[in-house]
Amino acid sequence: MGDIMGMMERAKDVLTVRRVFGEPVEREGVTVIPVATVIGGGGGGDMIEPDDKEGSGSGFGFGTFSTGIGVFVIKDGKVSWEPAVNVNLIVLGGQLVGIVSMLALRSIIKSRRERGAGRS
C-alpha cells in the first residue's frame, strides 16, 4: 500500500499547474511563457483470495500526455497569445475533409446513375 501512495504522490507532482505553464523566458524586454495541455489518468486495484487459494494481487497504472499549445508574450506591458501551429493536425484535417468529400461525391454520382438507368 505504501508503494501505491508513493506513486500517487508522484502522480500529483506530475499533474500540477507547473506542467501547464512553463518557466518564463525573458530576452530583450520580451517575456515568453510557454503553455501546454497536460492530460493524465491512472487506476489501481487489489485482490484478496480466500484462505484455501493461493495468490494475491495488486496493481497500479498511470500515464500522461502533454503537448505545447502556444505561448503568452508580454511586451511593453501588453500580453498577447501566440498559438503553436500543429502541422500534423492540419494535414490530418485536410485528409479527412478530402476523404469525406470523395465519399459524398461518389454517393451523388451513384444515385444520379441509378436514377438515369431507371428512366430507360
Per-residue pLDDT of the chain (120 residues; tens, 9 = 90+): 556 677 777 777 777 667 788 899 999 999 999 999 888 877 777 777 666 666 667 777 778 888 889 999 999 999 999 998 888 888 999 999 999 999 999 999 999 888 877 665
pLDDT at 103: 96
The C-alpha angle with vertex 93 and arms to 88 and 98, in degrees rounded to 5, equals 125
> How are beta strands 25-27 and 56-75 bridged, if at all?
unpaired
| Distance separating alpha carbons of residues 84 and 77, to the nearest angstrom | 22
| Distance separating alpha carbons of residues 22 and 38, to the nearest angstrom | 12
Cα-Cα-Cα-Cα dihedral sign, residues 93, 96, 97, 98: positive
pTM for this predicted structure? 0.52
